[in-house]
Structure 1
Amino acid sequence: MNDRPLLFFDSGVGGLSVVAPTLELLPTAPVVYAADSAGFPYGTKSEAEIAARVPALLGRLVERYRPRLVVIACNTASTIALAHVRSALDVPVVGTVPAIKPAAEMSKTRVIGVLGTEATVRQPYVDDLAARFAADCTVLRYGSARLVELAEGALAGFAPPTEDVATELAGLLNQPGGERIDVVVNACTHFPLLEADLVAAAPPGISFVDGGPGIARRVAYLTAGQDWPGQASAHRLVFTRLGDREQRIAGFLATRGFAEPELL
């Protein structure tokens, strides 16, 4: 059935940074975007909470929307719950991981930064990625809950204060050796939504990289040869809580091809 959608899941709006490059490759793909607004933010929650919550919610979403593929468009949820989700669902599941490999390939100074949520940057999975793909690099990390809030606010119509972005970036760059960072991994899908602000706050010569384009290529590969609708249609937007902030975000996304929000 060519109308079966791609399901993107995140704690908030960060996964939109993955939806955009996916639609560049698959422009008529139907999308269901699900934000766990009732559980937002994930970055300050325990591993046990996320490991229990994410598979349960995705089970309900898959039952309701019957997607052909699921994208966990959230680094925190992926690094903690991806294996649980794959064992629970009978559809392909694509996770999101920090783009440490491309960052290491880009770095000239061999010092890279990983900017994510507190939950993501402390995961052993990040240690493993650094050991496998950046063994000759110094990898500095910083977890920021504030940048996640700023990204959510930006889509709700509130411009992020320049000084707040600079303060959070300084938490990474002001670490010992941080002055040599030349590539920063946006290890939270929210952060590419603030990339212009991060670039403006960063010293000259620092590049930012994220996993969105790589995830998009993976989705295109896994769905190669499948039928798609002949033209793009309105995408579906799902929240687990519909408050004022979610309504403001939905108003913005209405200009990007999303229908009226639904409640899970």
Structure 2
Amino acid sequence: MIISSTAPLLFFDSGVGGLSVLGPTRALLPSAPTVYVADSAGFPYGKRSEAEIASRVPALLGRLVERFRPRLAVIACNTASTIALDHVRSALDVPVVGTVPAIKPAAEQSRSRVIGVLGTEATVRQPYVDDLAARFAADCTLIRQGSPALVELAEAKLSGGAVSVADIAAATKPMFAADRGAQIDTIVLACTHFPLLADELRAAHPGVALVDGGPGIARRIAFLTRGQPWPEAPPPGIAVFTGEPPSPALAAALARYGLHEVQTL
């Protein structure tokens, strides 16, 4: 199939979390045309039923692929990926890259063998996470916490709100208060929103390593698009919202990721 140099990479998330995947991808592929989609009308996915996500995400991505004709689609959302990735791949005729918790690299570096898995409530309970733990971290204790509060804090931060270290410590307290929680030396950021809070998380939990899948996903995108043509300079990136358009503060944050045009769906 002949791919146009102007065919974009399409990133999809429930909100702004997928920017933590877009950022490292832009660093590897600086000329790539980009469309970023926030399903703000469906946000937050972590509180929705699995059946709703499994039907909503493929339908939305089908409309988006028809509209933007991307060369590749990225589900930059752990919840949507763990629930709907297979449905999306069967429905679309473009390559689809998913986002899964980075349990393997976390297990490779943990010394205490006690790992925190911090995600949405929907992600941390998925059998997919059980499988990753059995395959790559069988000798580790995984302490899982679903934290809708952190998702909201990440959204607030990108919209210009103040997020304190105390807010982060309070939101993650249940994980460290659990049995063996004091031994956690590595945290898997199993929600793409959470790397946007990396500075605050490090301040709240000094000495604890944070692991997320963003850089690995970026490398996967670069591998799948190797040899394809790119424009000499990227056109302005497009941000698409399914709900209300972004606030001026959020629009300014999107521009820092190369997303200068805002559309609604």
Q: Same fold (TM over 0.5)?
A: yes
The number of residues matched between the two structures is 262
Tell me which residue corresponds to 1:251. 252
SS, match of residue 32 in structure 1? strand
For residue 194 of structure 1, what is the aligned residue in structure 2? 197
Quick one: which of 209, 212, 233 aligns to 1:210?
A: 212
2: CA distance, partners of 1:152 / 1:260: 19
Q: Does 2:66 align with 1:63?
A: yes
Counterpart for residue 9 of structure 1: 12
Superposition map of 1:1-264 within 5 A: 1-202=4-205, 204-243=206-245, 245-264=246-265
Specify whether residues 81 and 247 from structure 1 end up closer, same or farther in structure 2 by C-alpha distance, changes over 3 A only. Answer: farther
Q: Which runs of 5+ in 2 are unaligned?
A: none
The one-letter amino acid of 2:201's match is: L
Structure 1 distance, partners of 2:186, 2:166, is: 21
Deviations 1:26-61 (A, max 9, x none): 110011000000000001111011001000000000
Moved over 4 A (4+): none
1:247 is displaced (CA, Å) by 4.7
Instruction: Determine the C-alpha separation between the residues in 2 that align with 1:34 and 1:82.
Output: 16
CA displacement 1:226-255 (0-9 Å, x = unmatched): 011111221000000125x55531232234
Over the residues paired in the alignment, what is the CA RMSD in angstroms?
A: 1.0
The answer on whether the counterparts of 1:239 and 1:246 sit within 8 Å (CA) in structure 2 is no
Query: 2: distance between equivalents of 1:139 and 1:246?
Result: 38
Change over 3 Å in CA distance of 1:127–1:246 after alignment to 2: farther
Paired residues of 2:164 and 2:200 also in contact (CA < 8 A): no
TM value normalised by structure 2: 0.97
Farther off after superposition, 226-235 or 33-42: 226-235
- The CA distance in 1 between the partners of 2:171 and 2:23, in whole Å, is 25
Change (3 A) 1:16 1:3: same
Code of the residue aligned with 1:237 in structure 2: it is A
- CA shift at 1:205, angstroms? 2.1
Q: Tell me the distance in 1 between the aligned counterparts of 2:256 and 2:221.
A: 24
Relative to the length of structure 1, the TM-score reads 0.97
Does the residue aligned with 1:28 lie in a helix, a strand or coil? coil
